[in-house]
């Protein structure tokens, strides 16, 4: 049974805080390797809402009736693995091995369904097409699951995204949700400088999607957008305006933290800012 809205928001808020602490620990543990902190932290409030209150997942990552989540912005695993850890699918010991030799938790997701990792991904622009296929399969199998695809706004530079946007509307996939993490920064600069996409929501609407814009860190707005009934015959696009590096002052809107290396001192500072115990 779904929680009342206020209880769900309280639960998600606490989960997002725990996830940020887990993500920071993962980043610290990789040592000299980079870990894409910025784009992971911008996504956490969204994935906490999905796994904490919205998705029909019920800790059964192989149920044929489960909702599916696809991380199309594959480098954003610090916003993904902590959700799976928080719901108990990934152990603290496994999290501590992030990106180490022999670990299944790599810098981009590699399929491992018993652990909740639905699909492999890495090359940008692939996830929406994959989600369309999974949504079509659900329809053919007469399943009621939904497919949630988390995308980066920089990823929307890819032509395959817009081919997918056309196809999803053509097939009337009202079991498909695209969530665009609109943090306005890419690896080498701002989206405006590299490829100005202008009014992102207007573009998705022009392709026929039911489209909403939200504050991607307002748990209430995220919850309402993801919980609302789907529009019959239309896929849903949620343009979530976010802050890269959200939750850590020195990383917020600082593109150096696309994949900077976290020091112990920075980790301690970040934990204090989150209100966690060092």
Over residues 179-198, the pLDDT tens digits come to 999 988 777 767 677 788 89
Binning pLDDT at 50, 70 and 90, where does residue 232 land? very high
Residue 205 has pLDDT above 80, yes or no: yes
Binning pLDDT at 50, 70 and 90, where does residue 36 land? confident
How many whole angstroms separate alpha carbon 271 and alpha carbon 247?
Answer: 10
How many whole angstroms separate alpha carbon 79 and alpha carbon 55?
Answer: 16
Max distance between CA atoms of the chain, in angstroms, equals 53
* 126 burial level (CB within 10 Å; 0-12, 13-18, 19+): buried
How many whole angstroms separate alpha carbon 142 and alpha carbon 247?
Answer: 41
Residue 278 has pLDDT above 50, yes or no: no
Return the pLDDT at 255: 79
How many whole angstroms separate alpha carbon 55 and alpha carbon 51?
Answer: 6
Return the pLDDT at 150: 98
Expressed as residue numbers, the domain containing 132 is 5-274
Q: How many domains does the chain have?
A: 1
Q: What is the CATH number of the domain that holds 11?
A: 3.40.50.970
φ/ψ (deg, to 5) at 213: -115, 135
How many whole angstroms separate alpha carbon 185 and alpha carbon 131?
Answer: 24
How many whole angstroms separate alpha carbon 58 and alpha carbon 44?
Answer: 19
């Amino acid at each position: 049974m779904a929680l009342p809205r206020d209880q769900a928001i309280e639960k998600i808020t606490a989960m997002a805080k725990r996830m940020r602490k887990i993500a920071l620990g993962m980043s610290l543990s990789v040592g000299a390797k980079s870990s894409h902190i910025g784009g992971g932290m911008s996504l956490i409030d969204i994935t906490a809402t999905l796994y904490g209150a919205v998705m029909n997942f019920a800790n059964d990552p192989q149920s044929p009736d489960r909702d599916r989540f696809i991380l199309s912005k594959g480098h954003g695993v610090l916003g993904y693995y902590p959700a799976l850890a928080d719901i108990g699918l990934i152990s603290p010991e496994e999290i501590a091995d992030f990106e180490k030799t022999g670990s299944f938790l790599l810098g981009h997701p590699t399929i491992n369904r018993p652990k909740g990792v639905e699909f492999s991904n890495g090359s940008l622009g692939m996830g929406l097409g994959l989600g369309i296929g999974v949504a079509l399969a659900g329809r053919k199998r007469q399943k009621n699951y939904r497919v949630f695809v988390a995308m980066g706004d920089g990823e929307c530079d890819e032509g395959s995204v817009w081919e997918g946007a056309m196809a999803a509307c053509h097939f009337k996939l009202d079991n498909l949700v695209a969530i665009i993490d609109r943090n306005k920064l890419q690896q080498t600069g701002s989206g405006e400088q590299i490829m100005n996409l202008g009014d992102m929501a207007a573009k998705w609407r022009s392709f026929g999607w039911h489209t909403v814009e939200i504050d991607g860190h307002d748990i209430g707005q995220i919850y309402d957008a993801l919980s609302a009934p789907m529009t019959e015959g239309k896929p849903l696009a949620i343009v979530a305006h976010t802050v890269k590096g959200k939750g850590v002052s020195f990383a917020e809107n600082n593109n150096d933290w696309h994949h900077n290396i976290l020091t112990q001192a920075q980790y301690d500072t970040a934990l204090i800012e989150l209100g966690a115990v060092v």
